[in-house]
Chain A
Amino acid sequence: MNGAWFDIAHMLAGGLVLLSLMLLYQDRMFALLNVFALHAVLLSASVAWQAQIQGAPHLYITALIALALKAVVIPVALRRIVVRLGIHRTIETVVGIGPTMLAGMGLVALSMVVMLKATAQADPLAREDLAFALSVVLLGLLMMVTRRNAVSQVIGFMSLENGLILAATGAKGMPLVVEISIAFSVLIAFIVIGVFLFRIRERFDSVDVSALDAFRGERR
C-alpha cells in the first residue's frame, strides 16, 4: 500500500481521537457544539478517504450522510435547544478536568493495547482504524459518565456513534443499508432525546441529571 495514503488515513483517524479528547474538557455549551461539528466533519473526511483507498463508492454516501446529519443538522438543532433552554453558562463536570483527561488517556492506551493484541493478523489499515474507533467509543462513554448536563451527555452519545461509524468503514464489505439505518436510528434517538430534554426541564426546572437522582431518593 502507498505510504502517504496510509499516513493521511492515520492522521484523520488520529485527529478524530484528539477531537474526542477535546470534547472532554470543553466547559462551554457553544464551544462543545462547535467541536462536535468539527468531529463530524473530520469523520466524514476520514470515511471519504477510506472510500478512496478501498475503492468502495458506497462509502461516499456514508460520508455525505455524516456530513449532512451530524455536522449540520444535529449541531444546529442542539444549538437551538440550548438557546431555548437558556443554558449558555458554563457546564460543570463531575470530576475535575485533570483526572478526566488522565482517564481519557488511559482509555486510549487501553484500546490500543487491546486492539493491537486482538487483530495481530489483520490488514494494518483496518487495524489502526479499529484501535482509533474503539478509543473514540470509549471516550464518548467517558464523556457521558463525567457530564451532569443532559445536553453534553447527548453530545457524548453522538461522538460515541461517530466512533462506531469509523469502525464500520474500516471493516470491508459493510452493506450500505446497515449504515443508512444506523444513521437514521441515531437521528430518531436524537429526536427522542430532544423531547425528553424538554420534559426533564419542564418537571425539574433544570437539565442537570443529578436532579433525577434526588427525585429517585438517592443521596449524593
Chain B
Amino acid sequence: MRDLAVQGAQMLLVLVLAPLLLGFTRKVKARMLRRRGPPVLQPYRDLLRLIRKEAVIADNASWLFRSGPYMIFAATWVAAALVPTFATGLTFSWAADLIAITALLGSARFFLALVGMDVGTSFGGIGSSREMMFASLAEPAMIMIVFTVALVAGSTQLSSIAHYTLTNASLRVSLGLALVALIIVAIAENARIPVDNPATHLELTMVHEAMVLEYSGRHLAMIELAAAVKLLVYVSLIACIFFPWGLAPPNGDLAAYATGAAAYLVKLFVGGFLLVLFETSIAKMRVFRVPDFLGIALMLGLLGTLLLFVSRSF
C-alpha cells in the first residue's frame, strides 16, 4: 500500500518538477549570458497557453500525427516513473530495469521520428533522418553503459544498483568512464548545446525542433512536456546510479522520505546548473561532427567494460 502511494507521488512529482527544471536551466543560462531571462515558472505558463490554443493540423496528416504526441509522452512518463527519484521502494521496482528504460526512451524516439516524417515536409524529414543518425550511435553507447554498470553492480535493476553504490562506494575507473559516457549520451538525447540548440529554429542545424515544427496547440504541449520529462529522466538516472545518497529506503518513515525529496531537489538543481555551465562554455558542433562526439561515449562505454576484466572483482 505504501509502495503504491510512493509510486503515485513519484509520478506526480516528475510531472510537476520537469517544467521547473527546464525553466531553471533557461533562467540560469540567461543569467550567465548577462541577460535577465524569462521567469522560472515560464514553462508552466507556456504549457497552459498551448493547451488552451487550437491545434492546427495539416490536411494530409494521418491518425499517427494526431496520436503520436500522446504516445511519446506516455512512453517518456512511464520511463520517468521507473527511475527511483527520492525513494527506492516503488511498486514498479521490479520493472525498473535499465534496459527497459532505454527501450522506453527508444520507442518514444521512434514515434517522434515517425511523426516528423508523417506530414511530408522537408524539415521534418531532415530532422528525423538526423535524429536516427544520432540514435544509431547513442543507443549502442547507452547499452555499453548499461553493461558496465550491470557488471559492476551485478544487476540491471535501478534500486539494487543504487543500493550497491550506497554500500560499496569506491573509486572504480569503469564507473567513472560510464558516468562520462552517460553524460555525453544525455546531452545528445536531450538535444542540448554541442549537439543541437534547443533555443533556435535555424534550418541548417535543428534536429529536435525540425521534427516538431508542424505541431501546435495541445499536441505541441504534450511534446514539450515529454521533452522536459526526458531531461528530468536523464538527470534522475545519473543521480540514481552514481549519486544515490539520500534516497529513502523501502518502508522508511516520513522523515526519510522528506530527506529523500530534499536531496533529490538539490541533485536536480545541481545537475541543471552543471548542464548550463557546460552549455555556456562550449560551442555548437557541426552536424557531421556529432558522430565523433557520440563515438567518444561509445568508446568510453566499451573501454569501461573492457577495464572491468582486469579489475578486482574478476
Q: Which residues of A contact B (CB under 8 A)?
A: 3-4, 6-8, 10-11, 14-15, 17-18, 21, 25, 97-98, 101, 105, 108-109, 112, 115-116, 124, 127-128, 131-132
- Smallest beta-carbon distance A210→chain B, Å: 24
Report whether over half of chain A's contact residues are helix, strand or loop; otherwise say mixed: helix
Q: Known interface pairs A3-B312, A105-B303, A109-B306. Does A97 touch B295 (Cβ–Cβ under 8 Å)? A: yes
B300 neighbours in A (Cβ, 8 Å) = 18
- Smallest beta-carbon distance B35→chain A, Å: 31
Q: Are A11 and B173 in contact (CB under 8 A)?
A: yes
| Residue picked from A18, A25, A97, A127, most chain B C-beta under 10 Å | A18
Bound state CA distance, A109 and B69, in angstroms? Answer: 43
Q: Are A128 and B311 in contact (CB under 8 A)?
A: yes
A116 neighbours in B (Cβ, 8 Å) = 309-310
B312 neighbours in A (Cβ, 8 Å) = 3, 6-7, 10, 124
Q: Are B170 and A7 in contact (CB under 8 A)?
A: yes
Report whether over half of chain B's contact residues are helix, strand or loop; otherwise say mixed: helix
Q: Are A10 and B311 in contact (CB under 8 A)?
A: yes
Tell whether B299 is near chain A: CB-to-CB under 8 Å: yes
In the complex, residue of chain A having the shortest beta-carbon distance to the beta carbon of B302: A105
- Smallest beta-carbon distance A95→chain B, Å: 14
Q: Mark B216-246, 1 if CB is under 8 A from A, else 0.
A: 0000000000000000000000000000000
Contact partner, B310, options A15, A101, A131, Cβ 8 Å: A131
Q: A11-B171, A21-B303 are in contact. List 13 more A-B contacts (CB 8 A).
A: A11-B173, A11-B176, A14-B177, A14-B303, A14-B307, A98-B292, A101-B299, A105-B303, A108-B303, A108-B306, A112-B306, A112-B310, A132-B310
Q: Which residues of B contact A (CB under 8 A)?
A: 170-174, 176-177, 291-292, 295, 299-300, 302-303, 306-307, 309-312
A17 neighbours in B (Cβ, 8 Å) = 303, 307
Bound state CA distance, A116 and B174, in angstroms? Answer: 18
A21 neighbours in B (Cβ, 8 Å) = 299, 303
In the complex, residue of chain B having the shortest beta-carbon distance to the beta carbon of A21: B299
| Residue picked from B171, B303, B307, most chain A C-beta under 10 Å | B307
Bound state CA distance, A99 and B303, in angstroms? Answer: 16
Q: Are B303 and A25 in contact (CB under 8 A)?
A: no
Contact partner, B171, options A4, A97, A98, A132, Cβ 8 Å: A4
Q: Are B309 and A8 in contact (CB under 8 A)?
A: no
Q: Are A7 and B172 in contact (CB under 8 A)?
A: yes
Bound state CA distance, A11 and B312, in angstroms? Answer: 12
Pairs A-B, 6 closest by C-beta atoms: A14-B173, A128-B310, A11-B173, A7-B171, A131-B310, A14-B307
Enumerate 13 A-B pairs (CB-CB under 8 Å) in ascending A order. Answer: A7-B170, A7-B171, A7-B172, A10-B172, A10-B173, A10-B310, A14-B303, A97-B292, A98-B292, A101-B299, A105-B303, A112-B306, A112-B310
A101 neighbours in B (Cβ, 8 Å) = 295, 299
B174 neighbours in A (Cβ, 8 Å) = 14
- Smallest beta-carbon distance A220→chain B, Å: 25
Q: Are A18 and B311 in contact (CB under 8 A)?
A: no
- Smallest beta-carbon distance B145→chain A, Å: 15
Q: Known interface pairs A105-B299, A116-B309, A132-B310. Does A15 touch B173 (Cβ–Cβ under 8 Å)? A: yes
Bound state CA distance, A168 and B309, in angstroms? Answer: 22
- Smallest beta-carbon distance B46→chain A, Å: 40
B172 neighbours in A (Cβ, 8 Å) = 7, 10-11
Q: Are B309 and A4 in contact (CB under 8 A)?
A: no
Bound state CA distance, A17 and B173, in angstroms? Answer: 11
| Residue picked from B174, B309, B310, B311, most chain A C-beta under 10 Å | B310
In the complex, residue of chain A having the shortest beta-carbon distance to the beta carbon of B307: A14
- Smallest beta-carbon distance B87→chain A, Å: 30
Bound state CA distance, A21 and B306, in angstroms? Answer: 14
B173 neighbours in A (Cβ, 8 Å) = 7, 10-11, 14-15
In the complex, residue of chain A having the shortest beta-carbon distance to the beta carbon of B137: A98
B310 neighbours in A (Cβ, 8 Å) = 10, 112, 115-116, 127-128, 131-132
B291 neighbours in A (Cβ, 8 Å) = 98
